Structure 1
Amino acid sequence: MSLTGTPFFLTSIVLLVIAVVLPLAIWSRIAGPPMLRGLARLLMLLFAQVTAITVVFVLVNNANNLYDTWGDLLGTDSHVAVAKDLGPDGMGGRQIKNQPRQIQQFRPADDPKVGPGVQMTNLKGRISGVVGEVYVWLPPQYNDPAFRNRKFPVVELLPGYPGSAKAWFGALHVAEQLGPKMQRGEIKPAILVAPRTTLLTGADTGCVNITGKVNADSWLTVDVRQMIVDNFRAGDQPHSWALAGYSAGAHCAAKLALAHPDRYRAAVAMSGYNDPALEPDSLAGKDPVLRVQSNPLHILKAANAAGRPPRTALYVSGAAGDGYQAGIGLQQLAKRPTTVTVHQIAANAGGHTTVVWRNQVPEIFRWLGMQLRA
């Protein structure tokens, strides 16, 4: 039974009803010695508590798309086939231009909560060694004959941790919000891509490459990126690509865009952080070297010191103590052609929640439309 499916949700509701009604019906009718009656009543109370907690968990999980599968929840799934040493560029000495096209079979998304038009595929990363699902949504203009010869910009969407690849579509309603606005010309049309980011048991990869553990950076910035170029009319130049993330995904978006200006032109970071150690389960945060190397502040400082400020545009939003200061830190370091726009969220806007990030979707995509071209 699927963790996020309707059958499991209904089953949890039925069990909760039984757990409430059962004690009312038989509490005084339980026979036997006092110890046995006490034990039976205790078990009924425990059953009621467990079913109540289960219903709350299901509601929260389905609303925020935290865990996709039982394997994600229980930590029994691994999506890493191999994690070779891929070197500083994350390519392992290989060139994408020399690789054959990787044509994928797509199918409608298996969860109706993501809305219409979202399709998915299971991708085996040829460079990263990662295996995972990737969700794709095409703008209304994609199948319009008037646009048949046009390539489209792409925005790669990253969730928080824990977080499902479909969270942007399910919890943030990104396609439902943007589809009509793109159709009316209010927002520039773009392909939306949401890859799996939960790759290891009980760990946030921090979107880094760690030999022998995971090549999360190469999965997102090489394999997923090239697969989209191979299968859709997507631009393949940096000015056609951007990242957007919230919470841990915001950290990843800023880090990857600054580290790979040859692959991405812009990034949106909502309620994120610079120091990966602020996420207790971050593999990057637990490694002293990676903690520094994967900090967007360090990446920007190093690029500036080398006389090569990245041609990267960042949009950072957050409340005080929840992303805003991280954005100010980056803004103070930015040297042309790097630009950093910081937007402060009101303290009473809703906290560190999907509601806050969902409300920002139209605004951030208007901004992205000004940064990207096909």
Structure 2
Amino acid sequence: MGLTSNKVLVVAIALAVLLFVGTVWLWPRLARSGWRSVSGRVGLLFATQVMLFASVGIAANQAFGFYASWADLFGRETDQGVVVDHTTNGGTGGPLQVLSTQKVTGVSGTRPQTAGQVQKVDIVGRTTHIATPAYVYLPPEYFQPRYRTRTFPAAVVLTGYPGTAQALVDKLHYPGTAQQLAKDGRMQPMILVMLRPTVAPPRDTECVDVPGGPQTETFFAKDLPDAVLAHYRVGKKPGSWGIIGDSTGGYCALKLAMHHPDVYAAGAGLSPYYKAPIDPTTGDLFHGDRTLRNRSDLWWCLKHEEAPDTSLLVSSSKIGESNYKDTLKFIGQVRATNLTRISSIILESGGHNFNTWRREIPATLQWMSGRLSDR
């Protein structure tokens, strides 16, 4: 049974309940001073507490999508290999391969022409050789005959760390939200490319080109758009691409839009931070390269680099988010550039969690739609 399986959660809860009942039932028999009775009481209490914590942890993982599998949880994920097909004519396998398709959750109908479609894909970077899974949402219009020659704007959507790409589909409901907004005429039909910024799991690369390590920023700035353009009808001009993310993904979205305005016309950070951290999950990201370290600090970029011609959106809440003061400061510094455009979503209250981001996603998608073209 997989970590995210409902069966695992049911089994964990059932064991916790059985251990609790067993503890109550057996406690009178163990109410003695001998070592066996003491050991029995300690064992029952310990086992009950472990199962209670396990049940809460599994439920939290189900709700927030921190880990996708047991291997992911224990840092033993092994799907980091890169497969590049080579033929005599230079390679025809393509950087993007569709693995499966599924309907959009919460949308009636099964035909792509009316309900859209979510495709699970594998992407291999041509220059970085980074391989990562992703989900691609295609709106109903993509499959309709009258739009067969039309290109569509695209938004890259990133999770936080560690996060799972599946959570963007099942927990944050990006495809269903985008489909409904377009149906209501509140945004244009858009392609969504959903993945996690952790392209070298379990390491958190913070979307940095790590010296001697994963070239994550280059992957998102070059390889990912190239792979999508080679497979889907997406607009090729910079004004056709945007990027959205929450938490770590929010920091990445802002950084990529600021560093690569020729690729991303807009970047939206939901509950972002503004400087790459260094901790046990990241390792040494910069290897003494001060220029690289400075470029990963958005405060430094605003102060020392030419303002990029791009649009940014940031979100926070007055109560519940630790980035509130920094977000207000960031808004002020961007406004002072007189070139980079800044917008914000500030909630009265809301924690750093899926429920808060679900409240912000509709407005974020509408904002993004208004800043992208389909050419």
Size of the aligned set, in residue pairs, is 352
Deviation at residue 252 of structure 1 after TM alignment: 0.4
The residue that corresponds to 1:72 in the other structure is: 72
Question: Residue 312 of structure 1: which of 310, 313, 316 is its match?
Answer: 310
Which segment drifts farther, 236-245 or 18-27? 18-27
From the superposition, tell whether residues 328 and 230 of structure 1 become closer, same or farther in structure 2 (CA, over 3 Å).
Answer: same
Residue aligned with 1:212, SS: coil
The residue that corresponds to 1:140 in the other structure is: 140
TM-score w.r.t. length of structure 1: 0.84
The residue that corresponds to 2:274 in the other structure is: 274
The residue that corresponds to 2:100 in the other structure is: 107
CA contact (8 A) 1:284 1:291 kept: no
The residue that corresponds to 2:87 in the other structure is: none
Residue aligned with 2:308, SS: coil
Structure 2 CA distance, aligned partners of 1:71 and 1:114?
Answer: 32
Deviation at residue 357 of structure 1 after TM alignment: 1.2
* 2:182 aligned partner, one-letter code: M
Deviation at residue 345 of structure 1 after TM alignment: 2.6
CA contact (8 A) 2:241 2:264 kept: yes
In the TM superposition, what are the counterparts of 1:356-367 in structure 2 within 5 Å? Answer: 356-367=356-367
* 1:127 aligned partner, one-letter code: T
CA contact (8 A) 1:322 1:352 kept: no
The residue that corresponds to 2:164 in the other structure is: 164
Identity rate of aligned residues, in percent? 30
Structure 2 CA distance, aligned partners of 1:202 and 1:118?
Answer: 25
The residue that corresponds to 1:370 in the other structure is: 370
Deviation at residue 147 of structure 1 after TM alignment: 1.4
From the superposition, tell whether residues 110 and 218 of structure 1 become closer, same or farther in structure 2 (CA, over 3 Å).
Answer: farther
CA contact (8 A) 1:334 1:340 kept: no
Deviation at residue 16 of structure 1 after TM alignment: 1.4
From the superposition, tell whether residues 36 and 112 of structure 1 become closer, same or farther in structure 2 (CA, over 3 Å).
Answer: farther
Structure 1 CA distance, aligned partners of 2:178 and 2:279?
Answer: 30
Does 2:296 match 1:294? yes
Deviation at residue 220 of structure 1 after TM alignment: 2.2
The residue that corresponds to 2:125 in the other structure is: 125
The residue that corresponds to 1:37 in the other structure is: 37
* 1:198 aligned partner, one-letter code: T
Residue aligned with 1:104, SS: strand
Which segment drifts farther, 327-336 or 166-175? 327-336
Deviation at residue 32 of structure 1 after TM alignment: 10
The residue that corresponds to 1:92 in the other structure is: none
Deviation at residue 251 of structure 1 after TM alignment: 0.7
From the superposition, tell whether residues 41 and 201 of structure 1 become closer, same or farther in structure 2 (CA, over 3 Å).
Answer: farther
CA contact (8 A) 1:331 1:342 kept: no
Unaligned stretches of 5+ residues in structure 2: 83-89, 111-116
In the TM superposition, what are the counterparts of 1:225-264 in structure 2 within 5 Å? Answer: 225-264=225-264
Question: Residue 335 of structure 2: which of 332, 335, 349 is its match?
Answer: 332
The residue that corresponds to 2:85 in the other structure is: none
Which segment drifts farther, 69-78 or 247-256? 69-78
Unaligned stretches of 5+ residues in structure 1: 83-97
